[in-house]
Amino acid sequence: MTEMTMTGAINQAIDQEMARDTRVFVAGEDVRVGGPFGTEAGLLDKYGPKRVVNTAISELALTGLGVGAAAVGLRPIIEIMIMDFVTVAMDQIVNQMAKMKYMLGGQATLPIVVTTHAGIDSSSAAQHSGSLEAWFCHVPGLKVVMPSNAYDAKGLLAASIRDDNPVIFISNKRCMQTSGDVPEGDYLVPLGVADIKRPGKDVTLVVTGRMVLEGLEAASELAREGIEVEVIDPRTLSPLDFTTILESVRKTNRAVVAHEAVEFCGVGAEIAATISDRAFDDLDAPVKRVGAPFTPVPFAPMLEDIYRPDKDAIVRTVRELLTG
């Protein structure tokens, strides 16, 4: 095991998969100099310009390049710098990438990974701070992955690259420099399998991306009050591991769902609805949600701090749930 950042873990996953399979290549804006977050650092020197492809500033063209390459047998990794920019490429992602295998009766497979970076950070303002994962969870044909730490990031990305279906791989910007122990060798974290980050018996807390870190801090604070929170990281948002979530809820009889995205129509709404639908008789209280307000992300640092969901919001919600 080696301690490394999530950035380093993603870089290592791409490196190992490119070494393992010559069909794998990476394309995006500035990837030859390491990419916007350093996740492609050093790859140009190892694999050359044919497999590390700088593109024009056109997410539509870049994603179309990946769709075409995947359809003829390559395994592209398409880097879209900031998640808000996927809006430019939505036709290629939603109408081509997600649907081509189905519309061609399985004659074409689309082993393509779109990596992108989401989340609220450093006053990046409304067009550079989005968490749009719910959009893609709503599209049949796409898998959606959102790691919260270095270990999961490396294993999930390797599994995504080897998958024969399109995968949207979302890293939260505030998680990129967090560190953890990561195996140096090859390993996979299977898609569609949640992880219990902290066991507990009083409340089930389902958290995604950066909010996993906030959730673990909240659980530690609540533990000092005698409240044992079970923290679950889905890791993959589509397909979603409802088996693990429902087993936890049937044990704790209470649930809170938290994500950084806008609360309205977020992934948390689907999780809360499914818990209410499939574990209603096990609940001692309604499912609670934590998410961002229904406004664009503000630029001003003070407003951004107020807007961003955090540990304190989770702690307040858990206390409200338990006190009624």
Percent of the chain with pLDDT over 90: 99
* pLDDT (average), residues 117-133: 95
In a domain, 301, yes or no: yes
- The pLDDT score that the predictor gives to residue 243 is 98
**Binning pLDDT at 50, 70 and 90, where does residue 317 land?**
very high
CA distance 28 to 65: 10
**Binning pLDDT at 50, 70 and 90, where does residue 26 land?**
very high
**23 membership: H or E segment, kind and range:** none
Q: Which residues pair with 292 in a beta bridge?
A: 262
Same domain, 200 and 120: no
* Among 148, 182, 216, residue at a domain's last position: 182
Same domain, 174 and 211: no
- The pLDDT score that the predictor gives to residue 311 is 98
Residue 37, phi then psi, degrees to nearest 5: -120, 10
- Point out the residues that are catalytic: 59, 128
Domains contained in the chain, number: 2
Same domain, 126 and 202: no
* Whether the predicted pLDDT of 324 surpasses 90: no
Beta carbons of 54 and 31 less than 8 angstroms apart: yes
- The pLDDT score that the predictor gives to residue 302 is 95
Same domain, 161 and 21: yes
Could you say which DSSP state residue 127 is in?
Answer: T
In a domain, 187, yes or no: no
Same domain, 212 and 241: yes
- The pLDDT score that the predictor gives to residue 204 is 98
CA distance 114 to 254: 35
Residue 314: C-alpha distances to residues 13, 134, 215, 311 (Å): 32, 20, 7, 5
**Binning pLDDT at 50, 70 and 90, where does residue 63 land?**
very high
- The pLDDT score that the predictor gives to residue 177 is 92
In a domain, 276, yes or no: yes
Beta carbons of 14 and 157 less than 8 angstroms apart: yes
Expressed as residue numbers, the domain containing 26 is 2-182
**What's the CATH code of the domain at 157?**
3.40.50.970
* Whether the predicted pLDDT of 94 surpasses 80: yes
CA distance 301 to 289: 24
